[in-house]
Amino acid sequence: MPHYDFVDKRVLVTGATGFIGSHIAQRMVKEKALVYVLARETSDLWRLKHIENDIAVCRIDIRDFHKLDECVRDVKPDYVFHMSAYGVDSRQKDYFVAAETNIVGIINLMSALKKTGCEKFLNIGSCMEYGDKKDIIREDAALEPFNIYGSTKATATIMAHQLAAENGIDIVTLRAFGIFGENEGSHKFFPHIILSLLNGCEVNLTACEQYRDYCYIDDIVAGFILAAKDKNSKNTVFNIGSGTIRPLRYYVDMVYALMSNTSKPNYGAIPYRPDEVWKPHPDISKIKNALKWEPEFSLKEGLLKTIAWYEKNADIYRGTGR
């Protein structure tokens, strides 16, 4: 629930047209903040339609320093939620765009903020920065990414923290593991299954023996809110997730059961990826101890809310490629 700690605070959200960024923007509107979002000229604003009258949209590509610098000087944000990233979608494989968006983009943003400052810079990290670890992953684990998304995100996190420290900006990075919830892209794991079942289509999957930690989006947003408000969390990194890993088949079976669907998924119809991650298991004790953060929603509660949303909004996805 909103606590209105951000009333009339100037909040800049990058990546606001994406899954996580749109939820952050929506929460900031509820918090009665003055919300500014960055969006490229070609970005589809469908995730922001219900709050479009409550936000200011800055049509800027984060790779364009001069326009970004002008925007930051005009907005003078108190808080920055940096959710912009390239490569979250596994179909995004361009090395140069990944480097320009994830690394140069955050350098551009930090360089612009050097002139205006901000109370807190909240950065979205990724479990892919760690690579394919066998043991439970703490924040001090070695960064051993093995794909362009993980390597550019790891570089971006390191650079963001170095530049923030150099310029007196408080920064917190939340390294997210699996996230699910309303208005995710149709190609993602849960939407793929839910929408396929709603549309009477076959559900083609890998053998789904890999393990994942999935945490409901509202709990992830709550973690960012706590990190933004906490005065003691400076220049630090937190893992964020449910803390529990399960085989992907467990999640598939739960979706089928909750949707009362008696058909069977086509396990093994899709081959595993060459760079498959098998068991990313976060240690979340640091964020629990420092921010008193705990997931509020159980997996079942989160899935029920998610399924209900897709049942109501399935038409948003038909024929759009969203």
Residue 267: which CATH number? 3.90.25.10
Domain match, 150 and 58 both: yes
Which range marks the domain in which residue 71 is found?
A: 10-179+215-240
293 domain residue, yes or no = no
| This prediction's pTM | 0.95
pLDDT score for 320: 82
The verdict on residue 291 lying in a domain is no
Same domain, 259 and 228: no
Residue position matching structure tokens 């399924």: 307
The verdict on residue 58 lying in a domain is: yes
In a domain, 59, yes or no: yes
Domain annotation covers residue 261: yes
282, with CB counted inside 10 A (0-12, 13-18, 19+), is buried
Residues 206 and 122 placed together within one structural domain of the fold: no
Does 263 reside within a domain?
A: yes
Which stretches in the chain have pLDDT values below 70? 1-3, 90
Q: What is the CATH number of the domain that holds 59?
A: 3.40.50.720
Residues 70 and 42 both lie in one domain? yes
Residue 222 sits in the same domain as residue 252: no
Do the domain assignments include residue 292?
no
Q: In sequence order, which ranges of the chain are alpha helices (DSSP H)?
A: 19-30, 65-75, 95-98, 105-116, 148-166, 189-198, 217-229, 248-258, 285-291, 299-313
Q: In this structure, are 206 and 63 located in the same domain?
A: no
Residue 5 lies in a domain: no
Same domain as 123, residue 197: no
Asked if 128 and 175 touch (Cβ cutoff 8 Å), the reply is no
Do 269 and 164 share a structural domain? Answer: no
The three-state DSSP-derived secondary structure of 81-120 is EECCCCCCCCCCCCHHHHHHHHHHHHHHHHHHHHHHCCCE
The verdict on 161 and 198 lying in the same domain is no
Residues 142 and 124 in one domain: yes
How high is the pLDDT of residue 123? 98
Looking at residue 292, what is its pLDDT? Answer: 97
Phi and psi torsions of 37, nearest 5°: -125, 145
107 and 198 housed in the same domain: no
- Residue 321: per-residue pLDDT: 76
Q: 100 and 169 share a domain?
A: yes
Look at residue 11 in the predicted model and tell me its pLDDT: 98
Q: Residues 91-99: contacts with CB within 8 Å, 24+ apart? A: 91/187, 92/149, 93/148, 95/148, 98/148, 98/149, 98/152, 99/148, 99/152
Instruction: Identify the pLDDT of residue 1.
Output: 61
Number of domains in the chain: 2
